[in-house]
Structure 1
Amino acid sequence: MTDDLHYRVLKHLEAHPDGTQRDLAKALGISLGSTNFCVRALIDHGWVKVQNFRRSDNKLAYAYLLTPQGIEAKARITARFLQRKCAEYEALKAEIAQLDAEVRSQSKP
């Protein structure tokens, strides 16, 4: 799993601990099988724990809770994610400036 996917999964589970894997798959735009693989990997890392509970309609449901290690991992991943996005932003800004300069130089008579 990539840092981006780790970040997105942890962020979603933190915000929606009682959501289903189907909800998570839809929110992330990945298959249900991939979602299951990701959630299991996070559980194996000790970053997420699963808690069973019963809803009023007697269907078995789960809550996905970030562990203290999961919260720390999310903070580290978030910092790396932010650093990478800032670098991408700076590179994009430079590319836009270069393209703008090219357009301006080509449009002068």
Structure 2
Amino acid sequence: MIPEDSQYQVLELIRDKSDLTQREMAQKLGLTLGKTHYSLKALVEAGWIRAERFARSENKSGYIYVLTPTGVAERLSLAARLLARKREEFDKLSLEIRALEGRLDRDGRS
């Protein structure tokens, strides 16, 4: 499966703008087209999104990506886990910053 950060980013993008092409999604997400395709395929297989065909123009068909009820629940669950992880990272970084500031204060006084 794809990393949680990527899962969340894809689900958020689909929630906000479901009619983007894979190429447009890749560009917005900062991913390669192949990674975007792989991510979408994995999320479809997991049942978090579904792809529905629609006519983009007279000559070709495209897909619109829709969050499923499971996808909506997973997006919220991912958001909670990512927020907890980011808070933990922030707390650790804050401790490191305070320790460095303390060293600078001590070394500056010597």
TM-score band (shorter)? over 0.9
2:103 maps to a residue whose letter is E
Whether 1:102 and 2:103 are equivalent positions in the alignment is yes
Distance of 1:11 and 1:18 partners within structure 2: 13
Distance of 2:36 and 2:57 partners within structure 1: 26
2:24 maps to a residue whose letter is D
Q: 1:52: which partner in 2?
A: 53
What's the CA shift string for 1:34-57, capped at 9, x where partnerless? 110110000001100111111355
1:6-85 matched pairs, under 5 angstroms: 6-85=7-86
- Tell me by how many angstroms 1:14 deviates: 1.0
Q: Percent identity?
A: 36
Q: 2:93: which partner in 1?
A: 92
TM-score when normalising by structure 1 = 0.93
What's the CA shift string for 1:11-54, capped at 9, x where partnerless? 11111100111111112222111110110000001100111111
1:102 maps to a residue whose letter is R
Distance of 1:57 and 1:96 partners within structure 2: 58
2:26 maps to a residue whose letter is A
- Superposed CA RMSD in Å reads 1.2
Q: How many residues align?
A: 109
What's the CA shift string for 1:61-81, capped at 9, x where partnerless? 211010000000111111100
- Tell me by how many angstroms 1:58 deviates: 4.1
Structure 1 residues without counterparts, runs of 5 or longer: none
Per mean C-alpha deviation after superposition, the further-off stretch among 52-61 and 12-21 is: 52-61
Structure 2 residues without counterparts, runs of 5 or longer: none
1:3 maps to a residue whose letter is E
